[in-house]
Amino acid sequence: MFDTIILLTGAVEQGPLSALLCAHNPELVVHSASTRDDLAAFDPATLGRARLIAFSSPVIVQPDLLGALGYGAYNFHPGPPQYPGWAPAHFALYEKAREFGVTVHLMAERVDSGPIVETALFQVPAEISVLGLEGLAYAHLAQLFWRLSKKLATDASALPAGPLHWSSKKNSRRGYRAICDIPLDISKEELDRRMRIFGANHYGMTPTINLHGIEFRAVAN
């Protein structure tokens, strides 16, 4: 019987998102999780009664746990289907994307590959920063959670998949690091572009030049 949700998200989001789910279904038990260790602590009986919802979480859910869930797992991804994987806002701005958005999808063994349930897309404002674009995406993601929360909290059946599919190109931490590796012959235009998007030391990585075995790291003003 479906009576449990495991909410995988940050500490700030746990309270309001849990309250919204319980408002739709007062009989629901919502368990908080923010790390892989938190997920590993759930026993098989709990997983068998549960649905997992990940909201803007960097945690990769292991396949064995996905298989143990009785009512599926859904991810609220802070990027559109064109940008699965790591740091979608950074890569979208770097590639000068005109459109961005967010995606809700059924979780599968491979990250950001499961059937897409719903998206919310919007135009990328001119000259917007990474933090600004992430903020817009977060707002749209919260709206999608609000819209889908009743069904997620009360209906044991799966959310229906839509017609959209993920891009075959999946961005990764390795790709992010590669862009931060600055060649010595880089043009000023390209250097300015990388500094603007990747220069704030997000994820502990920043544009870096290696010269004669010495590493020089950019420092944001």
Distance, CA of 180 to CA of 45 (rounded, Å): 45
Strands 50-55, 4-8: pairing is parallel
Where in the chain do CATH 3.40.50.170 domains reside? 4-154
Distance, CA of 56 to CA of 218 (rounded, Å): 28
- What are the pLDDT digits (tens) for 7-31? 999 999 999 999 999 999 999 999 9
Tell me the mean pLDDT in the region 33-38: 96
pLDDT reported for residue 219: 72
* Residue 69 token pair: 């869930």
pTM higher than the cut 0.75: yes
% helix, strand, coil for the chain, step of 5 = 40, 20, 40
- What are the pLDDT digits (tens) for 80-95? 999 999 999 999 999 9
- Is the pLDDT reported for residue 1 higher than 70? yes
**Cα 42 to chain centroid, rounded:** 22
Class for domain 4-154, per CATH?
alpha beta
User: Where is 151: in which H helix or E strand?
Assistant: helix 130-154
- What are the pLDDT digits (tens) for 116-169? 999 999 999 999 999 999 999 999 999 999 999 999 999 999 999 999 999 999
